[in-house]
Amino acid sequence: MPTSDTARPLTPATVWLARGRHASGAVEDVLRRSLQRRKDDGDIDDFLELPEAGTGPAERVFEARWRAGGGVTVRARLSVTAGAGDRREWLLAAEAEEPWNDDWPSPAALFWPDEPETAWGEDATARLSLGEINPLPRDDKEVRRLLRSAVRGGWHIHVVVHEAMTTDDRGRVPVARWLPPGLRHRVVEHRAAPQQLRGLNWALRDSGVEVPRGGAVVLPGTPAPEGYHAGDFSVRAVFLDGTEPADLVDAVRRFAALPRPLPDGAEESLRALREDWHLLTLQEELDRQRGLVAMYAEALEAMTKSRDLYREAAERAHEALAAYQQTAAAAPPREQPSGAPVASPLQQITRTFERFKAILPATPSRDGESADAHQVRSER
């Protein structure tokens, strides 16, 4: 199976991540209406749209806060950037105060409206629908190219289902319908027609997995999560008769519980969620201001201490300079022998300093000798 060349940090257990693409239209207006409706209905506590000047002209950011699972606070940040054509790509990072529970509401469903005409649930790397059935292309090479590009980055859970025979309407139900809310917008389901099994497994051979006839497999993705073994996430038979595919649902849930590396580009969004959060409660704002006061007090104390040390050093330097000047003025001038070169100012200062050292009390040197003994040894 594919492995990552470099070690990447794991996704924290408290974090929920998703990425997608909005087909077209005024994305900001859609998000404002949806979030306001969620707030009015009590689904979220509050939301905030960051000013454009603070996020850059090419990015719009929305923050929201709600409580899940009986009082667990969840903070979420959704950023929207320009994509190909008139499409807008979005990235959503949410973090709870406790490890994430997939039975909690999907953060994506709380930001985006549940409206068929609002096409926001599209994979950002390929034109694949999140939580819906995506028929595989007829060409084997296209299948291989699609699956290799779709799983790259580690954003979604990709499931491949093979139809043992052509299904009716009862069999065209996506697996996401039976998944808990927290997984429905993280799963991309690929559906292979009966005659595509051989070409499908040829396309998947680089992934180290194989789809059983009439069965399914959860793809490892790139990079693969730690602890992934193909046999553990392969389902031998999926009955597409409208009943719950319990084995496949179990495989998807177990895969979602594996420690997974952070997807490409998620690290910056998670950092912004944690360090650049604006939607604060009154108590959080008070705690933040107290923290700033404590930080400024520490900085002021350090500056005061540095100032006192500098002042003390300057006073000692002035005292030493005054003593040197007094000693130099008291020393009698020495006549230069005829024809002797006149000493330079630097040499005069050096000699005066040597005389100044000679009249000072002897101080022990590092090896225990007096300064006078050290001077005698130097003259020798």
Mean pLDDT by 10 residues, the chain (380 residues): 61 94 81 95 95 69 94 95 75 96 95 81 84 94 93 91 90 94 94 95 92 95 86 94 94 94 91 93 70 78 80 78 75 57 54 56 47 44
Instruction: Print burial letters for 362-372: b (CB count within 10 Å at least 16), e (below 16).
Output: eeeeeeeeeee
Do 285 and 271 share a structural domain? no
Domain identity same for 127 and 204: yes
Residues 186 and 262 in one domain: yes
In a domain, 314, yes or no: yes
Evaluate whether 60 touches 80 at the Cβ level (below 8 Å).
yes
Amino acid letter, 269: S
Residues 150, 169, single domain; the answer is yes
Residue 336, domain member (yes or no): no
pTM confidence score: 0.73
Distance (Å, rounded) from C-alpha 46 to C-alpha 35?
8
Last residue of a domain, which of 275, 304, 335?
275
Same domain assignment for residues 250 and 287: no
Q: How far apart are CA 30 and CA 130, in angstroms?
A: 19
Is 359 a member of any domain?
A: yes
Supply the range of the domain harboring residue 99.
Answer: 15-275
Listed in sequence order, the residues at least 6 apart from 235 whose beta carbon sits closer than 8 Å to its beta carbon are 212, 215, 216, 217, 245, 247, 248, 251
**Residues facing 75 on adjacent strands:** 65, 95
The reported pLDDT for the residue numbered 275 is 93
- Distance (Å, whole) CA 217 – CA 238: 10
| Position 337 in a domain | no
Position 299 scores a pLDDT of 84
Examine the domain organization and report whether 154 and 228 are in the same domain: yes
Same domain, 137 and 210: yes
- Say whether both 115 and 250 belong to one domain: yes
- Same domain for 142 and 250, yes or no, is yes
| Whether 269 and 311 share a structural domain | no
**Residues 129, 265 share a domain:** yes
249: in domain: yes
Could you tell me if 329 and 361 are in contact, meaning their C-beta atoms sit under 8 angstroms apart?
no
Structural domain contains residue 160:
yes
Residue 146 falls inside a structural domain? yes
- The answer to whether residue 330 sits within a structural domain is no
* Angle subtended by helix axes 345-359 and 371-379, to nearest 10: 140
Nearest residue to 118 via CA among 38, 226, 48, 27: 27
In this prediction, residue 359 carries a pLDDT of: 52
Shared-domain flag, residues 204 and 311: no
Q: Which of 300, 276, 298 is nearest to 288 (CA)?
A: 276
Q: Looking at the 3D structure of the chain, how many domains does it have?
A: 3
